[in-house]
Copies of this chain bind each other. A is one copy, B any other.
Amino acid sequence: MFRNLCTGVSRITVRFGTRSMSISSSRSVDQLLSGRNDDHGGVIVEMSTEPVDAVVFGSLLRASILHWRQEGKKGVWIKVPIELVNIVEPAVKEGFYFHHAEPKYLMLVYWIPETPSTIPVNATHRVGIGGFVMNEKKEVLVVQEKSGILRGTGVWKFPTGVVEEGEDICDAAVREVKEETGIDTKFVEILAFRQSHKSFFEKSDLFFVCLLQPLSFNIQPQELEIEAAQWMPFEEYTAQQFVQKNEVLKYISDVCLSKREGKYSGFSPVPTTGSFSTTESYLYLNRHCLNSP
């Protein structure tokens, strides 16, 4: 984590990452924080969880900024583990600001050049899924939830859930249906999606309605979240006041009905590689239309 430019007397031992070094507390600090270069002319400093004194860190950071400025660096990122929360204040005093945070770390960023910042924006959306699962009797898989705004209302709804960090939408839909109802399914396609705003503080929400084909039929509701689960005739589901009076749910049930009758095509996942990386990612598209003559 460090690049040692110091030949002075050692007094305080500080460890960053895998390397340890010493800093004199009685003279000006001439060590630098070190990080790895990113692809955009910037530097990423990942602090380890080893304790570091806030004053010592402040000095190191000032010296490092001078050095990075001379090197023509642009954005500087410092990933601060929550154990080192004491260095957040000195970093902000040097001009750093918050970029994003997760439970165990805070990402700080600083833009060195005089030119306008090209620091990318933070994640803006949470992604959720709802699973439309229909059996051969044209019954739909529905649940009643133990918490949330529908608790105790008697409303039957599709299983829903949140896509986890790094998870594919198609995998999340299969996982959530399995977790909530015990039913194994195969992902078929995305029937529709909704974008809404300010769903959680200032963040937005993308909710994907997924068609899943059931592979098992014996329901085992999850104890913690689910009050009840059942296979329900589709007409009974759509006849609920809650569905009839909610414009979004009404549209979604129309889409499901149209799908049931073989008249609707959504977006199905196509595994792909090669968009600027070798990582596999899913492209969702109307394969039915694409393959039609």
Contact = CB atoms under 8 A, between A and B. Distances in A.
Contact of A107 (B126, B201, B274, B290): B201
A161 to B, nearest CB: 11
Nearest to A204: B166
A9 interface: no
B121 A285 contact: no
A281 interface: yes
A16 interface: no
- Give this chain's copy count: 2
A291 to B, nearest CB: 9
A52 interface: no
A100 B101 contact: yes
A290 B101 contact: no
A275 interface: yes
Interface residues of A, number: 84
A123 B120 contact: no
Contact of A202 (B166, B195, B200): B166
A255 to B, nearest CB: 6
Interface in A87-107: 88-89, 92, 97-107
Interface in A230-245: 245
Interface in A120-158: 120-127, 147, 149
A254 B125 contact: no
A39 B149 contact: yes
B255 A290 contact: yes
26 contacts: A39-B149, A85-B89, A88-B89, A89-B89, A97-B104, A98-B101, A98-B104, A98-B106, A100-B101, A102-B122, A120-B162, A122-B126, A125-B127, A165-B204, A166-B197, A166-B202, A169-B195, A192-B283, A193-B283, A194-B275, A194-B281, A194-B284, A248-B281, A251-B270, A255-B285, A265-B286
Given A98-B105, A265-B289, 15 more contacts: A85-B88, A86-B89, A98-B104, A100-B122, A101-B101, A120-B126, A124-B125, A124-B126, A124-B164, A149-B276, A193-B267, A193-B283, A247-B274, A248-B275, A258-B290
